[in-house]
């Protein structure tokens, strides 16, 4: 009788552990999708001229810095951007159809913890690396480090 009770308790513990692991996996996948959605709101806000998506996905204290390649003098230039500048940019950057509906917007989520996450976006303007924070249950982009596509070296010929 003792062996039966111990066996049933063991089975119950295995079942509980399996259910807990499944529940945690499901929650992790949900959080990954929410982080991805915040990143997509960012790029779609700019592509679709919807600054409200920027306001939804970006923390107002956001810090953004990036490098763009100046083709005139073949050098990179660094530039910072505030939250309000990003909102304003989203309201005009693609107003004249600079990029079409097939413009790249690939998001890779690298890591998601309970309060922080890291992701990468490949977009028409280059690559953005994000640090996100979870505030009041919502994922918000807090840091953005970006670069335009790398310059290609001219070959003599």
Q: Which residue has the higher pLDDT, 141 or 72?
A: 141
CA 8 vs CA 14, 16, 17, 19, 80: distances in Å: 10, 12, 14, 16, 62
Question: If you average pLDDT over each of 12-21, 24-33, 109-118, which comes out highest?
Answer: 109-118
**Domain membership flag for residue 42:** yes
In-domain check, residue 102: yes
Higher pLDDT residue, 134 or 150? 134
Q: Is residue 152 part of a domain?
A: no
Residue 133 inside a domain? The answer is yes
- The per-residue pLDDT for 152 is 72
Q: Is residue 154 part of a domain?
A: no
In a domain, 35, yes or no: yes
State the residue range of the domain holding 98.
2-147
Residue 123: strand pairing partners: 105, 126
156 in any annotated domain: no
- 24: which 2 tokens? 């945690």
Let me know if residue 75 belongs to a domain. Answer: yes
Number of domains in the chain: 1
For residue 47, give the CATH number of its domain: 3.10.450.50
**What whole-number distance in Å separates Cα of residue 67 and Cα of residue 127?**
10
Instruction: Give the Cα separation of 77 and 94 in Å (integer).
Output: 22
Question: Which residues is 119 bridged to in the sheet?
Answer: 109, 130
């Amino acid at each position: 009788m003792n062996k039966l009770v111990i066996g049933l308790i063991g089975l119950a513990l295995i079942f509980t552990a399996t259910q807990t692991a499944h529940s945690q996996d499901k929650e992790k996948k949900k959080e990954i999708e929410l982080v991805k959605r915040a990143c997509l709101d960012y790029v779609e806000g700019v592509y679709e001229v919807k600054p409200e998506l920027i306001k939804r996905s970006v923390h107002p204290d956001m810090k953004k810095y990036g490098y763009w390649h100046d083709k005139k003098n073949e050098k990179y230039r660094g530039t910072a951007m505030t939250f309000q500048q990003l909102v304003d940019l989203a309201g005009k950057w693609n107003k004249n159809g600079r990029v079409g509906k097939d413009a790249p917007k690939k998001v890779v989520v690298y890591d998601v913890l309970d309060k922080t996450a890291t992701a990468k976006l490949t977009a028409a303007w280059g690559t953005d690396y994000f640090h996100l924070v979870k505030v009041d249950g919502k994922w918000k982009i807090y840091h953005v480090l970006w670069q335009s596509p790398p310059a290609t070296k001219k070959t003599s010929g």
